Chain A
Amino acid sequence: GQQLNQSPQSMFIQEGEDVSMNCTSSSIFNTWLWYKQDPGEGPVLLIALYKAGELTSNGRLTAQFGITRKDSFLNISASIPSDVGIYFCAGQLGETSGSRLTFGEGTQLTVNP
């Protein structure tokens, strides 16, 4: 089946630093999504990307849909303590797969004040 490789697995940064994480796949996806998950909670949607090459921002977050449709990255600028959590990328093949999402294994972000 499809696999998403997400890196890095964990990051330890100082408050105010920028962060970058990425996701690659052996398969082409039609949609890329980025989620954040806090302990004991469900994932919360941060950014959705629908077209190859698309660059989308949501506040301090910026994400891009790779041109090959097999990768995506997420940048967080000027990190703050509440950015702590696990960030997941998720890819979707489209209608033919019932719109199911395939998730990466997550990037654990720690922000030191």
Chain B
Amino acid sequence: DTGVSQDPRHKITKRGQNVTFRCDPISEHNRLYWYRQTLGQGPEFLTYFQNEAQLEKSRLLSDRFSAERPKGSFSTLEIQRTEQGDSAMYLCAVGGVTEAFFGQGTRLTVV
């Protein structure tokens, strides 16, 4: 049990479509992170929430990406007008000041 549930586990979409992923922490955590992992690479930071406030965004997060955490609990990550380069594993993590605990991820394939 990682303490983080992500939905869906897998998503196949056509190029140009919009997709939305959801992250549900099982217990309360102030900090919530989104990372992206492409094949053969380590995860790369996308964005970070402290409660409902989005405090930091990576340059990787283009205008087509938006993340929310409306009540400081679950979070959503939306990608608009998907491109083939968006194909990756999208990981949600929760944690404190130092450690981060990851969910199982959502594998996105853009065809």
Contact = CB atoms under 8 A, between A and B. Distances in A.
Interface of A: 4, 6, 30-31, 33, 35, 40-45, 48, 50, 88, 90, 92, 94-95, 98-106
B43 A43 contact: yes
Q: Interface SS of chain B: helix, strand, loop or mixed? A: strand
Given A105-B42, A106-B42, A42 B97 contact: no
Nearest to A41: B104
A33 B56 CA distance: 21
B56 A98 contact: yes
Interface string B57-92: 000000000000000000000000000000000010
Given A99-B31, A99-B96, 15 more contacts: A31-B98, A33-B100, A40-B105, A40-B107, A41-B104, A44-B102, A48-B98, A90-B42, A92-B98, A98-B55, A100-B33, A100-B48, A101-B33, A101-B100, A103-B44
Greatest chain A CB density within 10 A among B40, B43, B91 is at B43
B24 to A, nearest CB: 14
Interface residues of B, number: 29
Contacts of B99: 33, 45, 48
26 contacts: A4-B42, A6-B42, A31-B98, A33-B98, A33-B99, A33-B100, A35-B102, A40-B104, A40-B107, A42-B103, A42-B104, A43-B43, A44-B2, A45-B102, A98-B48, A98-B55, A98-B56, A99-B31, A99-B48, A99-B100, A100-B48, A101-B33, A101-B35, A102-B45, A105-B40, A106-B40
B100 A45 contact: yes
Interface in B13-60: 31, 33, 35, 40-45, 48, 55-56
Contacts of B2: 42, 44
